[in-house]
Each structure stands twice: as C-alpha cells, then as structure tokens.
C-alpha cells in the first residue's frame, strides 16, 4: 500500500515538471468571464425564440395550466397583451394554438373566421405589427375525438384518413392566412400536406405566406402537459400511425426532404432535447432555417425540479436553450421565451 502511494506521488510530480513546457492549455481561454465571453461559440438571443400562446374564446377566463407554471390559456385580449410583452422584450415571433368554442368530427371550428386564433392574429397584427405571427395548423384541438385528422373505420379499426384530412388542413391554413398570419405551421404529420397547403395558398394569391413545417415530429411522451394546455388528448388510441417512431433518424431526413420538395420555408424537429442529433442532421443536410420545439414536457420537468429545489431553474433553462442552438437550430420554440428574454443581457 505504502509503495503504491509513493509511486503515485512520484508520477504526479513528474507530470507537473513536464507540464511547465506544455504548449496547449485550453484553460487559458476559461480564466475569466471576460475571456470566456470573448470565445463563446453559441449565444442564444431573444430573436432566436418563438413564443407559443394558447388562445381561448373570450367567453372563457385566463387560466394557468397546472402542469406548466407560468403558461396560461389566454383570451384574445390577453394574447394580444402577452404578444406585446414578448415583443417589448425583444422576442420577434409568436406561435398560436387555438381552443375553440365547439368541437366536431372534422374540426370545422378551426376555419371559423371569428375563431380564437383568427381573432388573435388580427388583434396582434393591429397592436404589435412588428411581430411575426405563426399559426399552428392541425385538427386535434378542434375535433371531438382529439385526433389530428378525419377518423375512418377500416374493418373495425379506427384510423386517421390521410387524404380526407388534407382539404380540411388547407381550409384551416387559408383561414389563418386570410386573418393575417405570416406563417402557417402544419403539425399534423399527414403525407403531402405541405404541398397541398402551398398550392392552396398560392391559388388564393397568398404566396407571401410562409410554411414552417413540423417535418420530424415524433410520437413523444414529452407532449403530456401540452394536451392539458390545448385540451387535445386523443379520446382513443394514440398518434403512432402518423407521428414518427422515436427510434427513426433516417426516416426523419426523408420527412424533411419531402417537406422541402413540397415547398416548406422552414423545417422543424420536435421535440428538441431527446432529438438533438436530428437537429444537427437537419442543419448539416439542408440549407433552410431549422426550428426546434422545446416542448411542454421538457419545460415542465425543469419547472417541477426547480420548484423542489433540486436544480437551478434559470441556469438549466439557459443550458437547454444553448444546447438546442449549438445542435444547429436557428429558431427555438419555447415556453421559456419571456423568462429568457427578461434575463437576457445582450
């Protein structure tokens, strides 16, 4: 035992001596915050962020979402105020989700020109014209069964019919664009929807309206709290016949390529944290802007652990957003947007 300790001591002192002539010392670049800030490779700015808002009809009240502290279901006027608050802090875009007055089998309330999303788009455009407005396109918030498309019965097995869903998504996208959305963001994962929506917009002289495609959207357990927020939990089954299998990376590239071929202006990976590798793949393979969705479950885990004092919430928020940007995302959709922007020192 004694011998071994002596040996260890000798080895250490030899290393120290050798070290005096060491050429490469990466620690020189970490000696002070001034130096660290000079060589920092990745800096998240409020302009990188897109702030999601959940809009309810004015007949309802502003309600905090239990599993997402700090996130609210907003009436149209609250959504306008929240958008203004985000813009004042340097955030440049919001992404709107709607909770309608009524639901049915085909989600027809989603193309009601007086719907919560349409009204919020108009209100925000008027009050905060400098903000880019994106509107999520999907049927699950508007259907009574909570699925993202039309349900058909194939020999006793219920499934979402792809091609019957496309015209409904087109109607919804046109309605949001007509209200003034700068981008529509289809999140349904139906095949061919980007091309169908692009054509529908172009035919109505809405060729300026962009498409942010949820290209690689996975059937993920991280969406749990969102379903409370958007009241969009499926009433039966799950979304695995249309959202992607979390195990598939090559298939994600194929989905991105298809969306780009069909006319997407931006592609997205959702969720972000368990899929950082695919954000990097998106960045390395394609030239379009890449968005990543830092989803509800990722947000709620930070909030829950911070509430218990198990982690330093603001520090973890910064580390998470930095990791998403470092992985290759140009844009990050995040519920942390306001909190991040408030703490940002540019």
User: Binding segment for Zn ion among 10-18, 120-128, 134-142, 316-324 (CB under 5 A)?
Assistant: 134-142
User: Binding segment for Zn ion among 115-123, 140-148, 154-162, 211-219 (CB under 5 A)?
Assistant: 140-148
Q: CA-to-CA distance for 234 and 209, rounded, in angstroms?
A: 30
Tokens of 210: 């962009």
Tokens of 265: 């202006």
217 is an active site residue: yes
Least distance (Å) from Zn ion to the CB of residue 187? 6
Q: Any idea which residue has 């172009």 for tokens?
A: 202
Least distance (Å) from Zn ion to the CB of residue 238? 12
84 is an active site residue: no
Q: Which is nearer to Zn ion, 128 or 190 (CB)?
A: 190
Q: Give the containing element (helix H, strand E) for 247.
A: none
What 8-state DSSP symbol labels residue 245? P
Do the beta carbons of residue 81 and residue 55 sit within 8 Å?
Answer: no
Residue of 170, 189, 59, 193 whose CA lies nearest to 111: 170
Q: CA-to-CA distance for 79 and 55, rounded, in angstroms?
A: 7
Least distance (Å) from Zn ion to the CB of residue 305? 28
User: Binding segment for Zn ion among 58-66, 67-75, 143-151, 223-231 (CB under 5 A)?
Assistant: 143-151
Least distance (Å) from Zn ion to the CB of residue 224? 14
Q: How far is CA 140 from the centre of its chain?
A: 17
Query: Count residues contacting Zn ion (CB under 5 A)?
Result: 3
Q: Which is nearer to Zn ion, 87 or 291 (CB)?
A: 291
Q: CA-to-CA distance for 301 and 298, rounded, in angstroms?
A: 5
Catalytic residue among 62, 84, 217, 303: 217
SS3 state at 141 = coil
Q: Which is nearer to Zn ion, 76 or 148 (CB)?
A: 148
Do the beta carbons of residue 117 and residue 137 sit within 8 Å?
Answer: no
Site string for Zn ion, 183-212 (x = CB under 5 A): ------------------------------
Q: Which is nearer to Zn ion, 140 or 177 (CB)?
A: 140
User: Binding segment for Zn ion among 24-32, 135-143, 155-163, 283-291 (CB under 5 A)?
Assistant: 135-143
Least distance (Å) from Zn ion to the CB of residue 99? 13
Do the beta carbons of residue 155 and residue 148 sit within 8 Å?
Answer: no
CB atoms < 10 A from the CB of 4, how many?
8
Q: Which is nearer to Zn ion, 122 or 141 (CB)?
A: 141
Q: Any idea which residue has 């250490």 for tokens?
A: 12
Interaction between residue 138 and Zn ion (CB under 5 A): yes
- CA dist list (Å): 317 to 96, 273, 325, 328: 22, 12, 12, 17
- Binding Zn ion by CB under 5 A: which of 50, 53, 56, 140? 140
**Interface positions, 146-185, toward Zn ion (CB under 5 A):** 148
Q: CA-to-CA distance for 189 and 241, rounded, in angstroms?
A: 10
**Looking at the annotation, which residues are catalytic?**
217, 270
Which residues form the interface with Zn ion (CB under 5 A)?
138, 140, 148
């Amino acid at each position: 035992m004694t011998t071994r300790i002596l040996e260890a001591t000798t080895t250490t002192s030899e290393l120290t001596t050798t070290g005096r002539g060491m050429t490469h010392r990466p620690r020189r670049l970490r000696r002070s915050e001034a130096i660290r800030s000079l060589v920092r490779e990745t800096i998240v700015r409020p302009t990188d962020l897109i702030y999601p808002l959940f809009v309810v009809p004015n007949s309802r009240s502003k309600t905090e979402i239990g599993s997402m502290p700090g996130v609210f279901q907003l009436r149209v006027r609250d959504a306008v105020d929240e958008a203004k608050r985000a813009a004042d802090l340097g955030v440049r875009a919001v992404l709107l989700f709607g909770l309608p007055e009524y639901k049915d089998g085909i989600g027809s309330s989603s193309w009601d020109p007086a719907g919560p999303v349409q009204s919020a788009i108009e209100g925000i455009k008027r009050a905060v014209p400098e903000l880019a407005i994106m509107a999520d396109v999907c049927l699950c918030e508007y259907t009574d069964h909570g699925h993202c498309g039309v349900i058909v019965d194939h020999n006793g097995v219920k499934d979402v019919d792809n091609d019957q869903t496309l015209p409904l998504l087109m109607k919804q996208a046109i309605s949001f664009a007509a209200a003034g959305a700068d981008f529509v963001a289809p999140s349904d994962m139906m095949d061919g929807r980007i091309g169908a929506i692009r054509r529908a917009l172009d035919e109505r002289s809405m060729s300026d309206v962009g498409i942010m495609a949820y290209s690689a959207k996975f059937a993920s357990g991280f969406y749990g709290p969102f379903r409370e927020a958007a009241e969009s939990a499926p009433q039966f089954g799950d979304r695995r016949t249309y959202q992607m299998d979390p195990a598939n990376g090559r298939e994600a590239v194929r989905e991105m390529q298809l969306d780009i071929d069909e006319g997407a202006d931006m592609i997205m990976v959702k969720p972000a944290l368990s899929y950082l590798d695919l954000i990097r793949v998106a960045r390395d393979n394609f030239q379009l802007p890449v968005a990543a969705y830092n989803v509800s479950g990722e947000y709620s885990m930070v909030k829950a652990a911070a509430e218990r004092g198990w982690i330093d919430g603001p520090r973890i928020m910064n580390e998470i957003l930095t990791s998403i940007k470092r992985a290759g995302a140009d844009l990050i959709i995040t519920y942390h947007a306001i909190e991040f922007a408030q703490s940002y020192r540019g």
